[in-house]
């Protein structure tokens, strides 16, 4: 792979120069925004998206809430495992960063001395995005979209080859999906136990405190209050 990276005719390198060339022609302020977004912003956005999905699942209070929350718990765990799996891969491939072998790149982030393949940022965000998709397709599509944007940013910033990003996407997806059945088997019973436990069941599902019957002769019913709303009313 290092030999391929040195070839100027390699499509991987050509695409690197094409995408990073956008940074050279962009205003300085835009590059600073891309630097923040690619290094920290999208990771933060993924975390907030996972929390938003959890809040939505909890408030909906469906019967399968424990399964969905278990999938959401698995998403960050899968991301962490994928990054750990990446450690020996990076050492084995030992691919230098693009700016080590190629001149003329506009590198937006300095201090990157580790190996390039595969991208940790791409691995993390795609693992979270796929984990979200397992839990909730609507949020998952948004998460995968953020992961794709993260991959673009890493190449734009001049710190990764396109194949580093593709490898990260593949690794994050593989770890999340291959271990998902085992994770579900372990985490779903745990989340069901949390759901039934007094005082902490709200973590998994909104609980109705009382059921109000439909008034005879009408089609209107009063929505039950959950424990939080009852406490506020008191």
For 128-183, the pLDDT digits (tens) are 999 999 988 999 999 999 999 999 999 999 999 999 999 999 999 999 999 999 99
Contact between residue 44 and residue 36 where contact means Cβ atoms under 8 Å apart:
no
pTM tops 0.85: no
In this predicted structure, what is the pLDDT of residue 2? 42
Banded model confidence at residue 232, pLDDT cuts 50, 70, 90: very low
pLDDT of residue 211: 37
CA distance 44 to 137: 20
Show the DSSP H helices in 38-64 as ranges.
42-60
Q: Would you say how long the chain is, in residues? A: 234
């Amino acid at each position: 792979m290092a030999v391929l990276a040195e070839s100027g005719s390699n499509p991987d390198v050509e695409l690197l120069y094409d995408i990073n060339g956008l940074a050279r022609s962009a205003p300085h302020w835009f590059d600073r925004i891309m630097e923040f977004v690619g290094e920290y912003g999208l990771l933060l956005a993924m975390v907030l998206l996972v929390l938003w999905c959890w809040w939505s699942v909890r408030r909906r209070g469906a019967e399968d809430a424990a399964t969905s929350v278990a999938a959401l718990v698995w998403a960050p765990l899968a991301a962490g495992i994928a990054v750990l799996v990446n450690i020996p891969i990076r050492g084995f491939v030992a691919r230098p960063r693009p700016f080590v072998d190629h001149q003329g790149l506009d590198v937006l982030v300095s201090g990157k001395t580790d190996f390039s393949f595969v991208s940790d940022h791409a691995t993390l965000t795609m693992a979270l995005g796929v984990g979200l998709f397992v839990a909730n397709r609507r949020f998952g599509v948004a998460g995968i979209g953020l992961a794709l944007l993260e991959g673009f940013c890493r190449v734009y910033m001049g710190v990764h080859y396109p194949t580093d990003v593709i490898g990260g996407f593949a690794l994050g997806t593989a770890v999340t999906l291959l271990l998902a059945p085992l994770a579900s088997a372990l985490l779903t019973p745990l989340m069901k136990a949390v759901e039934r436990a007094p005082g902490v069941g709200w973590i998994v599902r909104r609980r109705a405190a009382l059921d109000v019957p439909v008034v005879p002769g009408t089609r209107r019913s009063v929505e039950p209050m959950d424990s939080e709303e009852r406490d506020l009313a008191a």
